[in-house]
């Protein structure tokens, strides 16, 4: 795993350059907060897990298509995606 001291924007940059481990680190860093936010809305653990997976798939696609516009921080952005 990459060092957790790396910023989200640095991890995103590394991922778009082909470093898969960077995305793993980014997901591990934020998955519990994103899951909790989704769960508070849907109130079903299994539905929240499915949505969380969909959010990360959509995020991967956005990064791969180079459509991510870093105008703010990653966590608020991905929470809006969720």
Q: How far is CA 59 from CA 27, 35, 43, 48, 78, in A?
A: 10, 15, 23, 16, 8
Instruction: Count the neighbouring beta carbons within 10 Å of the beta carbon of residue 4.
Output: 9
Share of the chain above pLDDT 70, in %: 93
> What does the domain layout of the chain look like in residue ranges?
8-81
Who contacts 68 (Cβ-Cβ below 8 Å, separation ≥6)?
A: 12, 16, 62, 77
> Does domain 8-81 fall into CATH 3.40.50.1860?
no
Q: What is the pLDDT of residues 14-28, one digit of tens each?
A: 998 999 999 999 999
The yes-or-no verdict on residue 1 having pLDDT over 60 is no
pLDDT over 90 for what percent of the chain?
56
Are 41 and 55 spatial neighbours (Cβ–Cβ below 8 Å)?
no
Strands (E) in the chain, as ranges, are: none
Split at pLDDT 50, 70, 90, the class of 65 is confident
């Amino acid at each position: 795993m990459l060092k957790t001291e790396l910023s989200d924007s640095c991890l995103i940059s590394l991922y778009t350059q082909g470093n898969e481990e960077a995305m793993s680190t980014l997901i591990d860093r934020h998955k519990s907060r994103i899951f909790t936010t989704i769960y508070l809305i849907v109130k079903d653990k299994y539905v929240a897990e499915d949505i969380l997976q969909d959010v990360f798939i959509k995020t991967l696609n956005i990064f791969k298509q180079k459509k991510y516009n870093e105008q703010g921080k990653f966590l608020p952005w991905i929470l809006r995606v969720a």
